[in-house]
Amino acid sequence: YDLLCLGSCTHGAQPAISFISFIENFKNYNLKGKFLVCFSSSASPNGWKETCNKIRNDFPEMNHVGNFGCSWRFYDSTIKNFEKLIKTLN
């Protein structure tokens, strides 16, 4: 794989604890040069940005493509944001 899309719900302005333990599984892989897209949901309008930045910081060796927030209320814009990020890879 060349693209890794990682996302988590936001709890207290950070990724969920279960997600934090999940990403430990990736620490054993060489991800240098791979692409990363981060996504998150949050109750606050900007909480997802903080969560995405924390996910991104866990993978400094990867090429960060972008972040997007997701919510069932904004399903259409979530899909459009993801498609927009993927198009930057072409």
- pLDDT tens, the chain, 90 aa long: 799 999 998 887 788 889 989 998 888 899 999 999 999 988 777 888 889 999 999 999 999 999 988 765 555 677 787 788 888 876
Looking at residue 59, what is its pLDDT?
Answer: 94
Contacts of 39 (CB under 8 A, 6+ apart): 5, 6, 7, 48, 52, 67, 68, 69, 70, 78, 82
Amino acid at 47: G
Q: Give the predicted TM-score (pTM) of the model.
A: 0.79
Q: Which of 18, 17, 21, 10 is nearest to 52 (CA)?
A: 10
Looking at residue 64, what is its pLDDT?
Answer: 95
Q: How many CB atoms lie within 10 A of CB 52?
A: 25
Ordered domains of the chain (ranges, CATH): 3-87 (3.40.50.360)
